[in-house]
Amino acid sequence: MASELPPPPPSTAATATATATATTTSSLSSSLAASVAKVSVSLDAPSTAATVKSGAQMSFDFQPFSGTTSTLQTATTADGSDDDSSYEPQPGDNNLAGMEMDIPKCVLHRISHLSQLHDKKGDIMEAYMAERAALEAKYMSLCSPLYEERRQVVVGELDSTIEEAAKRGVYPSSALDDKEEGATGLSANDDENTDGSKIVGCPQFWLVAMGHMDVISDVITEGDVDALEYIYDIKCLDKPDGTGFTIEFYFNSKTNPYFSNEKLTKTYSIPNLYMEDEPIIDDVKGCEIHWLDEEHCLTERSVTKKERSKGGKRKGQVRTITTKERVDSFFWFFTPPKMPDVDEDMEEEEAEAMEEAFDMDYDVAQAFRTHLCRDAILWFTGEAANDEEEDSDEEGEEDEEEEEEDEGGAEEDGEGDKVGPAKPLFPTSAAPEGEQPECKNS
The overall average pLDDT reported for the chain is 73
| pLDDT, mean of residues 396-423 | 51
Task: Tell me the backbone φ, ψ of residue 249, rounded to 5 degrees.
Answer: -110, 125
Residue range 110-131: mean pLDDT, rounded? 94
Q: How far is CA 267 from the centre of its chain?
A: 12
pLDDT band at residue 68 using 50, 70 and 90 as cut-offs? very low
What pLDDT was estimated at residue 20? Answer: 34
> pLDDT value at position 263?
97
* pLDDT for residue 367 is more than 90: yes
Give the model confidence (pLDDT) of 201-227 as tens digits.
Answer: 999 999 999 999 999 999 999 999 999
Number of H helices, E strands in the chain: 10, 12
Average pLDDT over residues 61-71: 40
Q: Pinpoint the alpha helices (H) of 2-87.
A: 30-36
Of 289, 280, 279, give the one whose Cα is nearest residue 334. Answer: 289
- DSSP assigned state of 265: E
CB within 8 Å of 376: residues ≥ 6 apart: 150, 205, 206, 209, 234
Q: What pLDDT does residue 352 have?
A: 87
Calculate the alpha carbon distances from 228 to 211, 241, 425, 436 in Å.
11, 32, 16, 21
More reliable by pLDDT, 190 or 266: 266
Which string of DSSP letters, residue by residue, matches 273-328?
TTSSSPP-B-EEE-----BS-GGG-SSEEEEEEEEE--SSTTTT-EEEEEEEEE--
How far apart are the C-alpha atoms of 373 and 367, rounded to whole Å? Answer: 9
pLDDT for 30 equals: 41
- DSSP, collapsed to helix, strand or coil, labels residue 249 as strand
If one counts every other C-beta atom within 10 angstroms of the C-beta of residue 145, the result is 9
Decide if 343 contacts 33 (C-beta within 8 A). no
Q: Are strands 47-52 and 38-42 parallel, antiparallel or unpaired?
A: antiparallel
pLDDT at 354: 86
Would you mind telling me the total number of residues written for the chain in this entry? Answer: 442
Name 98's Cβ contacts closer than 8 Å, sequence gap at least 6: 18
pTM here is 0.66
> What SS3 class is residue 233?
strand
Confidence check: pLDDT of 293 > 60:
yes
339 contacts 32 by C-beta, under 8 angstroms = yes
Q: What values do phi and psi take at 189, rounded to 5? A: -145, 180
What DSSP designation does 368 have? Answer: I
Residue type present at position 231: I
**pLDDT (average), residues 128-157:** 95
Residue 59 pLDDT level (bands cut at 50, 70, 90): very low
pLDDT for residue 13 = 36
Cα–Cα distance for residue pair 163/186, rounded to 1 Å: 18
